[in-house]
């Protein structure tokens, strides 16, 4: 019992080390991307802030005031993230035209890069959580040839599949939202349930604007919250589509690998083989191993015919002796052909040079006689 407990402690410690190692490696491997993203965000916010703080006005205790630096940073953030609370709006035709351009630039170039950067930080944590849940809810391993190597996995029931693959990222989102809501209480006169409501409405980019952020500290915290939370929720939504496609492909693969040979399957494979090599004379012979594999890959959509066919043509080009096999003999044949072409080119060059030597003296005599 003590030995088992110690093994479990070692495994748990190893997992904890792995998650922090993966997180550190993820940060290091994306350093250049992060430097680019940070520079892009700073440039976007700086230009927008200088513009809006110099031309836009808002109501204040003395009547009207220019937008502050914090107000402008806050507005640029809600603009590029598509949250758009509506508490700050461009009021003049010129600023509206600039805002239209700033929306497009912010969404297409700036926030997409920012969301990708945030994803590079949370993906190691998400992957670690998935691996941990996989040990608790393992898939069925299938060994086709009995050599002890797993050839493929049969996915669990759809509820288990989505649960264990979505839970880590969902928990990350929940922890982040609840933590940010608690911080908002330090800046705004909200209750905790109002802060939670605001954070969820913001993260989903609905942005009703019914919860007004009045303090500069709250606006600056909102900038951080928007940038991270919108990225996480976007990643969460994208993960649903990715898992749906992944499960569909896995089930199709399992169905094909579990399928017995029948006439329909054989006819499909033959049709694919003929499409790839229509000029080959088969004379009643069956499918080769490679033809069957390529047919299955095409059937599952793992590869496309248009991407396979060029390699078939390349093989025929390299198969210099036309035997249908690549070997050193083909290499020797190619080298021999290239040598013959070089010799032929050199001979043509010499003939051309000799022709010029015959022509030039005659031309010189004519020129001298005249």
Express each pLDDT in 154-190 by its tens digit.
Answer: 888 999 999 999 999 999 999 999 999 999 999 999 9
Predicted confidence band at 261 (pLDDT cuts at 50, 70, 90)?
A: confident
297 shares a domain with 193: no
Instruction: Identify the CA nearest to 252 among candidates 152, 164, 162.
Output: 152
**Would the pLDDT of 365 be above 70?**
no
Cα–Cα distance, 286 to 268 (Å, whole number): 13
323 domain residue, yes or no: no
Note the pLDDT tens digit of each residue in 18-50.
555 655 665 555 788 888 999 999 999 999 999
Cα–Cα distance, 306 to 308 (Å, whole number): 6
> What is the value of pTM for the model shown?
0.72
pLDDT at residue 19, as a whole number = 53
342 domain residue, yes or no: yes
**Would the pLDDT of 341 be above 50?**
yes
**Would the pLDDT of 357 be above 70?**
no
160 shares a domain with 117: yes
369 shares a domain with 268: no
190 shares a domain with 160: yes
pLDDT at residue 43, as a whole number = 98
Last residue of a domain, one of 227, 257, 287: 257
270 shares a domain with 248: no
> How many domains in the chain?
3
Q: CA dihedral in degrees (143, 145, 146, 152; nearest 10)? A: -10
127 shares a domain with 43: yes
In SS3 terms, 178-193 reads as: HHHHHHHCCCCCCCHH
213 shares a domain with 295: no
Whole domain around residue 14: which residue ranges? Answer: 2-257
Which of the two residues, 24 and 53, has the higher pLDDT score?
A: 53
Residues 6+ apart with CB under 8 A from 302: 249
**Would the pLDDT of 3 be above 60?**
no
pLDDT at residue 1, as a whole number = 45
285 shares a domain with 251: no
134 shares a domain with 220: yes
pLDDT at residue 22, as a whole number = 54
**Would the pLDDT of 234 be above 80?**
yes
Cα–Cα distance, 272 to 280 (Å, whole number): 13
- Whether the CB-CB separation of 188 and 38 falls below 8 Å is answered with no
- Whether the CB-CB separation of 334 and 320 falls below 8 Å is answered with yes
What average pLDDT score do residues 342-363 get?
62
324 domain residue, yes or no: no
């Amino acid at each position: 019992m003590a030995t088992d407990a110690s093994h479990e402690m070692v495994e748990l410690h190893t997992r904890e080390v792995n998650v922090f190692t993966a997180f550190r490696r993820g940060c290091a491997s994306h350093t250049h991307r992060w430097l680019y993203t940070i520079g892009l965000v700073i440039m976007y916010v700086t230009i927008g802030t200088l513009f809006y703080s110099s031309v836009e006005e808002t109501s204040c205790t003395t009547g009207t005031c220019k937008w502050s630096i914090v107000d402008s940073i806050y507005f640029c953030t809600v603009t590029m993230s598509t949250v758009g609370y509506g508490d700050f709006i461009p009021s003049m035709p010129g600023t509206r035209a600039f805002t239209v351009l700033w929306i497009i630039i912010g969404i297409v170039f700036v926030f997409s890069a920012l969301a990708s950067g945030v994803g590079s930080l949370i993906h190691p944590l998400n992957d670690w959580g998935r691996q941990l849940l996989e040990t608790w809810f393992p898939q069925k391993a299938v060994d086709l040839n009995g050599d002890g190597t797993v050839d493929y996995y049969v996915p669990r029931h759809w509820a288990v599949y989505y649960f264990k693959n979505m839970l880590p990222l969902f928990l990350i989102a929940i922890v982040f939202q609840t933590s940010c809501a608690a911080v908002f209480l330090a800046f705004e006169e909200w209750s905790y349930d109002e802060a939670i409501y605001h954070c969820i409405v913001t993260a989903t980019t609905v942005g009703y604007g019914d919860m007004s952020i009045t303090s500069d500290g709250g606006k600056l915290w909102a900038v951080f919250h928007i940038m991270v939370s919108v990225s996480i929720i976007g990643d969460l939504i994208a993960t649903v589509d990715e898992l749906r496609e992944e499960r569909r492909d896995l089930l199709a693969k399992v169905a094909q690998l579990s399928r017995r040979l029948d006439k329909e399957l054989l006819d499909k494979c033959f049709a694919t083989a003929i499409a790839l090599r229509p000029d080959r004379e088969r004379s009643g012979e069956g499918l080769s191993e490679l033809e069957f594999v390529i047919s299955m890959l095409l059937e599952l959509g793992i590869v496309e015919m248009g991407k396979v066919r060029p390699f078939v043509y390349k093989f025929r080009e390299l198969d210099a002796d036309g035997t249908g096999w690549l070997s050193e003999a083909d290499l020797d044949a190619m080298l021999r052909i290239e040598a013959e072409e070089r010799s032929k080119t050199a001979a043509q060059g010499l003939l051309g040079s000799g022709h010029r030597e015959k022509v030039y003296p005659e031309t010189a005599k004519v020129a001298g006689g005249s």
